[in-house]
Structure 1
Amino acid sequence: MTKFDTRVEELIAKHPHLTKDEAIKIITEKNARKKQKRQARSNKGDAN
C-alpha cells in the first residue's frame, strides 16, 4: 500500500462518516496546500 492509500485509510478510520472519494479529496487538497507552502518558503530563501 502506498503512503497516500495509508493516509486515506487512516482518515476514514478516524472519521467513518466520510466516503473514500471525500477522503481522497481532503488528502489531495492538503497535499496541494503543503506544496504551496514549501514553494513559498524556498522562493523566500532564493530572494536573499
Structure 2
Amino acid sequence: MTKFDTRVEELIAKHPHLSKDEAIKIVTEKNERKKQKRNARSNKASN
C-alpha cells in the first residue's frame, strides 16, 4: 500500500461519513498545498 492510499484509508477511518472519492480529493488538495509551500520556500532560499 502506498503512502497516499494509507492516508486516504486513515481519513476514511477518522471520518466514516466521507466517501472514498471525497477522501482522495482532500488528500490530493493537501498534497498540492504542501507542494506549493515547499516550492515557495525553495524559491525564496535560492534568491
Partner of 1:34: 34
Root-mean-square deviation (Å): 0.2
Partner of 2:24: 24
Unaligned runs of at least 5 residues, structure 1: none
Count, aligned residues:
47
The letter for the 2-side match of 1:23 is A
Unaligned runs of at least 5 residues, structure 2: none
The alignment's TM-score, normalised by the length of structure 1, stands at 0.97
The alignment's TM-score, normalised by the length of structure 2, stands at 0.99
Q: Which runs of 4+ in 1 moved over 4 A?
A: none
